[in-house]
Amino acid sequence: MKNATDADRDFIAAAMPAFISEAGEQTEAIETLLLELEEQPDDRELLDSLFRCAHTVKGSAGIFGLNKVVEFTHHVETLLDQLREGKINLTPALSTLLLECNDQIKFLVDTASDESADTPDQKDLRADLVIQLQAITESQPVPAIDSKTVATHAGDKSATGQKDTQSASPATAAEPGLTVWQISARFGQETFRNGMDPLSIAKYLKGLGSVKSMHCGIDHVPALVNLNPETCYLSFDMALESAAGRDEIEGAFSFVLDDCELDVKQPESPEQLLVRAIEAMPAAPRLGDMLVSVGAVSQTQLTEVLLNQEQSTQTKSGQKAKLGDLLEAKAGVAPAVVEAALTKQQKTKESSGGEENRFIRVQADRLDAVINLLGELVIAGAGANLLARETRNVALIEANLHMNSLIEEIRNGTLGLRMVPVGETFSRFRRVVRDTASSLGKEVNFEIVGGEAELDKSMVEKIADPLMHLVRNSLDHGLEPPPERIAAGKTPAGKLTLSAKHETGAILIRIEDDGRGINRERVLQRAWNKGLIEQGVVPSDDVINMMIFEPGFSTAEQVTNLSGRGVGMDVVKRNIEALRGNLKLNSRPGQGLQVDIRLPLTLAIIDGFLVGVGKAKFVLPLGSVVEVIEAGGQHVRVDKNGRHVVELRGNVLPVVRLRTLYSVESTLPERTSVVVVNAPKGKYGIEVEVLMGQQQTVIKPLGRLFKTLRGISGSSILGSGEVALILDVGSLGDLVTADLGPNAVRVGA
């Protein structure tokens, strides 16, 4: 039998992957919250969420004995606590420091089981970050409430069993008729040049009353070599006991208000401190526990109140007295404090009751195995349905139809388990945009639209890297530096939008910027020089734009850390096409570039429309089918470009003949059908000979030999055992709507 140590090691080894996964989610949340706080730095809910994320990582790491994570995260947690308490303000520089610290936490979590990964360089970096964190947290002004008062309200009373709500330091306890004001002033850099002296303002304030505490902030003073003696870098925090009102105190700063950040407020009462402490607490199920933890009552007092509650229950025929009322009456807890605790308790119940059992972690490979089995079940169901139709047994046919409807429900539910909002992936690019724009010296407003649109998780993971290349390309090549934008009549800050929306069985992801657009002449010249286009030949704008996705193609004048070697964009196109997706560029020179990526919602199972040409079977995605029309003999004609067309309600509709396109052995029957489909470039028709109806289609990948076959995105096995090819409506549409040159293959011929 194993001893306790071995059992603990086994537990840690088994649970470590779950910890790394959960800690990874927390660090991602920290990054997202920090970027959101840069836009709304005073949002208390965001600050509390940020603190809770760091606290969760630290607590979980402590369970696994990961001391490096615990020690480093503790320093971060201390700074975050001061942030949410309002003792320091979130500045861009501080946000950058916290993002770097979050990267270090992520590194420590990811390498928790690999001691050798923590190199001396990483240790030096971590030590430097700790020094910066301590420099900020230890240089803050002493709070207006002294240590005795803080200890009283933090829980020291529980040790003595006494409650003293009146005890306070001189900084908070004012004489009758006097008020202790908390004054925070940060002076602008032009204060000295405007003839004002912060010290004279402080002396004037001293004349209005008694200064209880004073702290001069020097955190913005630069190194001596960079110090300008005419520039003001100072700030101060003062606790002033005075009979003066707010207007009189603010009047002392009347000459510097335009160049000063001023905050004048009264200190919070002990009651207000307790309420805020309860609101900031993590979830706690019991009322008494919350009040004891913040120091509103001692454990002894709580025990006495609970005994009184039990006695009142016995003497009042089982009617139980409310604990909150007894705490107010017997322990002297302020009604506002009890109300805050009750509200916190209710919120805890609502959140835990709605979410406690909503989530369960399932390994991805197990889910993939279920979906693969589901695919085989769909094929088997189609085979059973075919046999039932051949028997012409009505009862058997109905039973199979019922079974197939259940299979479809199971399919939709199972595939739904793999669907995740693309916004989770999009939000990762906030950090990329922030850091890249900073390194390039550009100003960028980044916007995410339609993040709630869902996509198969496997596809979300595979699309992240191509999106990264496209976003960085927009930042580097597309958006101009501020001086260039101003000269062009634009705002200094560029705009970059990442959006997603569903479109007829697919998802459209769009990266759009308001920068330079594609320089058509430069791309064309580079294509001529590289031999990609014959010298002197000028193709359409679409063809020229797509040249940027050719291997080794680059228009950058010089190589940078981001681009300039022509590496990456060809991989982007190849990866997107591997997902059965397609790319489209819409460039407006001088106004911006729009990159559209269309992807199928899933790579597993689709609703298909089965058609036949000769002995061949083809499947069309049902979401792209608009209608079916009869068009045989004289209805189909050839236009001047050599394409087959048919008239549809007064409009000319181009038509693809699969029999001709894929050289299917078949004689054209007298009557055929045209399936009208929707494609990114418009509607067109597909001429077929047999309509076999709707059915669920399991997508199988094409072999290496057929991967370059245009117009085909995959294959499927029918219930009869035959193989059907799945048509790619988008690429077929490109073939049928292309401008045909004199030497081009005419797909409808």
- Give the pLDDT confidence score for residue 315 in this predicted structure: 53
297, 333 contact by CB (below 8 A):
yes
Q: What is the CATH number of the domain that holds 501?
A: 3.30.565.10
- Segment 111-133, tens digit of pLDDT: 887 778 888 888 889 899 999 98
Q: What share of the chain has pLDDT > 90, as a percent?
A: 7
Q: What is the CATH number of the domain that holds 119?
A: 1.20.120.160
- Give the pLDDT confidence score for residue 351 in this predicted structure: 56
**Nearest of 600, 558, 593 to residue 471 by alpha carbon:** 593
Are both 286 and 259 inside the same structural domain? no
Are both 566 and 529 inside the same structural domain? yes
Looking at the predicted structure, is the pLDDT value of residue 156 above 90?
A: no
Looking at the predicted structure, is the pLDDT value of residue 572 above 50?
A: yes
Looking at the predicted structure, is the pLDDT value of residue 151 above 70?
A: no
Least confident of 122-126, 144-148, 212-216, 407-411: 144-148
- Give the pLDDT confidence score for residue 154 in this predicted structure: 34
CA angle 719, 721, 727 (to 5 degrees): 80
Higher-confidence position of 393 and 382: 393
Least confident of 520-524, 555-559, 596-600: 555-559
- Give SS3 for 481: coil
- Segment 232-246, tens digit of pLDDT: 888 888 888 888 877
Q: Which H/E stretch holds residue 352?
A: helix 335-355
18, 49 contact by CB (below 8 A):
no
- Give SS3 for 365: helix
- Give the pLDDT confidence score for residue 611 in this predicted structure: 92
Single residue among 230, 252, 267 that ends a domain in this structure: 267
Q: Average pLDDT for residues 365-393, to the nearest whole number?
A: 83
End-to-end CA distance of the chain: 79
Please report, to the nearest 10 degrees, the dihedral formed by the alpha carbons of residues 454, 460, 466, 468 taken in order.
80
- Give the pLDDT confidence score for residue 509 in this predicted structure: 92
- Indicate whether this model's pTM tops 0.85: no
Domain housing 296: 271-354
> Is the residue at 142 inside a domain?
no
- Joined together, the tokens standing for residue 298 give 């001692």
- Give the pLDDT confidence score for residue 548 in this predicted structure: 84
Are both 475 and 572 inside the same structural domain? yes
Q: How many CB atoms lie within 10 A of CB 50?
A: 26
Looking at the predicted structure, is the pLDDT value of residue 493 above 60?
A: yes
Q: Domains in the chain: how many in total? A: 6
pLDDT band at 430 (very low <50, low <70, confident <90, very high): confident
- Give the pLDDT confidence score for residue 167 in this predicted structure: 33
- Give the pLDDT confidence score for residue 510 in this predicted structure: 93
Q: Average pLDDT for residues 425-441, to the nearest whole number?
A: 86
Burial class for 661, CB neighbours closer than 10 Å (0-12, 13-18, 19+): buried
Nearest-angstrom CA–CA distance, 177 and 174: 8
Looking at the predicted structure, is the pLDDT value of residue 159 above 50?
A: no
- Segment 655-697, tens digit of pLDDT: 888 888 888 887 777 788 899 998 877 888 898 888 988 887 7
Region of 295 (left: φ > 0; alpha: ψ -120 to 50; beta: rest) is left
Instruction: Report which listed range, 272-276, 449-453, 716-720, is most confident.
Output: 449-453
> Is the residue at 34 inside a domain?
yes
- Give the pLDDT confidence score for residue 148 in this predicted structure: 33
Arithmetic mean of pLDDT over the chain: 77
Nearest-angstrom CA–CA distance, 664 and 618: 12
Cross-strand partners of 687: 657, 674
Backbone angles phi, psi at 235, to 5 degrees: -150, 160
- Segment 435-452, tens digit of pLDDT: 888 888 898 999 989 888
**Nearest of 200, 211, 180, 214 to residue 256 by alpha carbon:** 200
Are both 460 and 573 inside the same structural domain? yes
> Is the residue at 531 inside a domain?
yes
Burial class for 114, CB neighbours closer than 10 Å (0-12, 13-18, 19+): exposed
Q: What is the CATH number of the domain that holds 182?
A: 3.30.70.1110
Looking at the predicted structure, is the pLDDT value of residue 162 above 50?
A: no
Single residue among 233, 248, 267 that ends a domain in this structure: 267
Q: Average pLDDT for residues 493-515, to the nearest whole number?
A: 87
- Joined together, the tokens standing for residue 749 give 């011929």
CA angle 658, 664, 666 (to 5 degrees): 100
- Give the pLDDT confidence score for residue 218 in this predicted structure: 79
> Is the residue at 438 inside a domain?
yes
> Is the residue at 158 inside a domain?
no
Distances 245 to 180, 248, 249, 251, 253 between C-alpha atoms, Å:
11, 5, 7, 10, 14
Are both 532 and 519 inside the same structural domain? yes
- Give the pLDDT confidence score for residue 584 in this predicted structure: 86
- Give the pLDDT confidence score for residue 560 in this predicted structure: 54
Are both 585 and 504 inside the same structural domain? yes
Nearest-angstrom CA–CA distance, 747 and 644: 9
Looking at the predicted structure, is the pLDDT value of residue 160 above 50?
A: no
- Give the pLDDT confidence score for residue 141 in this predicted structure: 46
Least confident of 286-295, 500-509, 709-718: 286-295
> Is the residue at 231 inside a domain?
yes
Looking at the predicted structure, is the pLDDT value of residue 217 above 80?
A: yes
**Nearest of 318, 297, 299 to residue 309 by alpha carbon:** 318
Higher-confidence position of 260 and 560: 260
Are both 515 and 574 inside the same structural domain? yes
Q: Average pLDDT for residues 64-75, to the nearest whole number?
A: 86
- Give the pLDDT confidence score for residue 269 in this predicted structure: 65
Region of 613 (left: φ > 0; alpha: ψ -120 to 50; beta: rest) is beta
The three-state (H, E, C) secondary structure of 599-620, written as one string? EECCCCEEEEEEEEECCEEEEE
- Give the pLDDT confidence score for residue 497 in this predicted structure: 93
Looking at the predicted structure, is the pLDDT value of residue 703 above 60?
A: yes
Nearest-angstrom CA–CA distance, 14 and 730: 47
pLDDT band at 2 (very low <50, low <70, confident <90, very high): very low
Higher-confidence position of 277 and 511: 511
Backbone angles phi, psi at 477, to 5 degrees: -90, -35
Are both 28 and 85 inside the same structural domain? yes
> Is the residue at 155 inside a domain?
no
Q: Write out the DSSP string of 46-101.
A: HHHHHHHHHHHHHHHHHHTT-HHHHHHHHHHHHHHHHHHTTSS---HHHHHHHHHH
- Give the pLDDT confidence score for residue 741 in this predicted structure: 37
Are both 261 and 278 inside the same structural domain? no
Nearest-angstrom CA–CA distance, 350 and 321: 23
Q: How many CB atoms lie within 10 A of CB 283?
A: 13
The number of helix segments (H) and strand segments (E) in the chain equals 25, 22
- Joined together, the tokens standing for residue 659 give 């029999």
Higher-confidence position of 144 and 323: 323
* Buried b / exposed e along 562-595 (16+ C-beta atoms within 10 A): bbeebebbeebbeebeebbbbbbbbbeeeebbbb
Q: Average pLDDT for residues 102-116, to the nearest whole number?
A: 86
Looking at the predicted structure, is the pLDDT value of residue 73 above 80?
A: yes
Q: Average pLDDT for residues 564-573, to the nearest whole number?
A: 64
Looking at the predicted structure, is the pLDDT value of residue 347 above 50?
A: yes
Single residue among 585, 600, 615 that ends a domain in this structure: 600
Q: What is the CATH number of the domain that holds 622?
A: 2.40.50.180
Looking at the predicted structure, is the pLDDT value of residue 581 above 50?
A: yes
- Segment 169-202, tens digit of pLDDT: 334 445 566 778 888 888 888 888 877 788 878 8
Q: Which single residue is written with the structure tokens 């869902």?
A: 454
Are both 376 and 408 inside the same structural domain? yes
**Nearest of 353, 510, 358, 521 to residue 422 by alpha carbon:** 510
Are both 577 and 454 inside the same structural domain? yes
The three-state (H, E, C) secondary structure of 402-466, written as one string? HHHHHHHHHHHHHHHHCEEECHHHHCCHHHHHHHHHHHHCCCEEEEEECCCCEEEHHHHHHHHHH
Least confident of 278-287, 601-610, 613-622, 719-728: 278-287
> Is the residue at 128 inside a domain?
yes
Single-letter residue type at 18: A
Are both 329 and 393 inside the same structural domain? no
Single-letter residue type at 736: V
Nearest-angstrom CA–CA distance, 727 and 88: 60
Looking at the predicted structure, is the pLDDT value of residue 576 above 80?
A: yes
